[in-house]
Amino acid sequence: MITVKTVRELRAAIARARGEGKRIALVPTMGNLHAGHAALVSKAGQRADFVVASIFVNPLQFGPSEDLDKYPRTLAADQEKLLEAGCHLLFAPSVEEMYPDGRSDQTIVSVPGVSEGMCGASRPGHFDGVATVVCKLLNMVQPDMALFGEKDFQQLAVIRKLVRDLNMPVQIFGEPTVRAEDGLALSSRNGYLNDEQRASAPVIQRTLKLLGERLQAGSSDFAQLIDDGRQQIEQAGLRVDYLEIREANTLQPARSEDKSLVILAAAFLGTTRLIDNLALHLD
Ligand code: PAF
């Protein structure tokens, strides 16, 4: 695996792989990699011949009071994990390389509809930052495909719409969330939790599963389900940011006739905000 830090080096390495007729997959990340990222990279290796990963803690997608400065930067450990997972090329640019004209002078890509509500409401500007950096990375690498985790369900919807609306010639794959044994979705932010918080965190997934079972059993009183779910999460000491039942493709509020649903949750443990979701199809 080679690591490059500039767009120029990236393009040269990609051109070589293309010259050898290779199909290229991109796995964009912000580093501090865990087994979920490794799964994306190995899946990319099954789908393509040449796997590119990027590590860039993107300042555009962090709000002013968020964890940009303390977000873990662990390049050496990440390089080892990427190598082991079968990555061929790592792009690890600086902020200056990504935003040479400065952040405030950067063209912003804004995806309407699916960016609104939930994480879009709690983190104003977040999805503009995500859409902008993903658009830039896709243009820099020009991969045949890009892979993202389904844990960030709303982000995935934003990226799918971005690619569709801008006619970008790339296939987007969403890959299943990787979980700890107790069900907690793997996330770089889990590292912020103390032991007590870590022990409480799986209540998010337990609640999603319970709500999913009630939906499958025919319950369509969404407001009641959400109330019960909130109560269960808050009893475990978390503060619910949002808990919503949405139509899985449009992310519009679910209606009783919808068959493809997703339950999405975000909750705080202290200052750490965790997200998770459960998609389900009603028979
Ligand atoms: O999911 C992430 O790690 C980031 O939001 C992404 C897609 C790499 C964009 O910075």
In this structure, is the dihedral angle defined by the CA atoms of residues 240, 246, 248 and 250, taken in order, positive or negative?
Answer: negative
CA of 172 to the centre of ligand 1 (A): 14
Report pTM.
Answer: 0.97
pLDDT of 246 reads 98
Percent of the chain with pLDDT strictly greater than 90: 100
- Phi and psi dihedrals of 245, rounded to 5? -110, 120
Q: What is the mean pLDDT of residues 252-271?
A: 97
**pLDDT score of 188:** 96
Q: How far apart are CA 131 and CA 126, in angstroms?
A: 9
> What pLDDT score does 14 carry?
98
Active site residues: 37
Cα first-last separation, the chain: 46
Tell me if 237 is assigned to a ligand binding site: no
Instruction: Please report, rounded to a whole number, the percentage of residues in the chain having pLDDT higher than 70.
Output: 100
Average pLDDT value for residue range 237-260: 97
Q: Which residues contact 30 (CB under 8 A, 6 or more apart)?
A: 55, 56, 57, 58, 71, 188
The string of pLDDT tens digits covering residues 170-202 is 999 999 999 999 999 999 999 999 999 999 999
User: Per the annotation, does 178 bind a ligand?
Assistant: yes
| Residue 189 annotated as binding site | yes
The minimum-distance atom of ligand 1 relative to the CA of 130 is 9
To test the pocket of ligand 1, the residue of 34, 54, 58, 188 to mutate (highest count of ligand atoms within 8 Å of its CB) is 58
Nearest to 234 by CA among 271, 262, 207: 207
pLDDT of res. 283: 82
Q: How far is the CA of 206 from the centre of ligand 1 (A)?
A: 25
CB atoms within 10 A of CB 180: 15
Length of the chain: 283
CA of 211 to the centre of ligand 1 (A): 28
Of the residues 26, 32, 151, 152, which should be mutated to test ligand 1's pocket, given the most ligand atoms within 8 Å of the CB?
152
Please provide the average confidence, as pLDDT, over all residues in the chain. Answer: 98
pLDDT range class, residue 4, cuts 50, 70, 90: very high
| Residue 61 alpha carbon, nearest atom of ligand 1 | 10
| Ligand 1 site residues, Cβ closer than 6 angstroms | 28-30, 58, 61, 130, 133-134, 152, 155
- pLDDT tens-digit series, residues 37-55: 999 999 999 999 999 999 9
Give the pLDDT confidence score for residue 121 in this predicted structure: 98
